[in-house]
Chain A
Amino acid sequence: MTPDEKNRLLALIANPPAGSKLAAAKEYGVDLTLIAENLEMTLGERLKRASEAARFFKALQGAARRSRAEK
């Protein structure tokens, strides 16, 4: 993504056109800045991040389960 494209994207998500799905998503509570961040990544980078998140989430679940069992 070029700096110009990034600036256009950031401007769009900061002030989405009224009545657009972007505006509706923002109103719904979607953090559009996270989508913008993801769009800056390549597909491989997105999958890597998703894999890391999945591993972290699974480890967290295991830790929580062990903690509950100890109580």
Chain B
Amino acid sequence: MNFEQVIAILAGAGVEFVVIGGVAMSAHGLARVTQDLDVCYGRSQENIRRLARTLAPYHPRLRGAPDGLPFSFDEKTIAAGLNFTLITDLGDLDVLGEVAGIGMYPAVFAASQEVEQPAGTKWRVLTLEGLIRSKRAAGRRRDLEVIPELEALRELPPGLEKKE
């Protein structure tokens, strides 16, 4: 998956989302391999509509579901559900309505920071503090294992990051 491309597609369509999970950790500087993009999305009717329309051309379907299982990632489905693990033509994409330890989109938004890339794409990523909270709350071994790395990164002097 080209993470930058997918983020640019979502941001360009005006979808309200925050990048969380492994890509957020990579964005902060952690050396971790992740295969999918995890985002937390706003649950307003308008945002659900935007999310559905934006992803439709990339044929989202449920990851791990048997072939032929009827599924349409449309407004109705999103409104009736919350968290979706999808495979799309762009790659694996998890769209979550709630993040463990933080809450729904408004709380996740409050625990995020805006970043901007040279192309002018602006998007939001969960802060290091937010990532630590969510990993602690998730509580699985694989989540807890990454906390020492996140906490170490928080201690590095500010301003060390190379600017775009």
Please give the distance in Å from A49's CB to the nearest CB on chain B: 8
Dominant SS at the B interface? loop
Residue ranges of B at the interface with A (Cβ–Cβ < 8 Å): 1-4, 7, 22-23, 26-27, 29-31, 33-36, 91, 115, 117-118, 148-149, 151-157, 159-164
| Contact A55-B164, Cβ < 8 Å, known A24-B152, A35-B153, A46-B26 | no
Residue ranges of A at the interface with B (Cβ–Cβ < 8 Å): 1, 5, 8-9, 12, 16, 20-22, 24-26, 28, 30-32, 34-35, 37-44, 46-51, 53-55, 57-58
On whether the beta carbons of B23 and A47 are closer than 8 Å, the reply is yes
| Contact A9-B156, Cβ < 8 Å, known A24-B151, A54-B1 | yes
On whether the beta carbons of B152 and A25 are closer than 8 Å, the reply is yes
On whether the beta carbons of A25 and B161 are closer than 8 Å, the reply is no
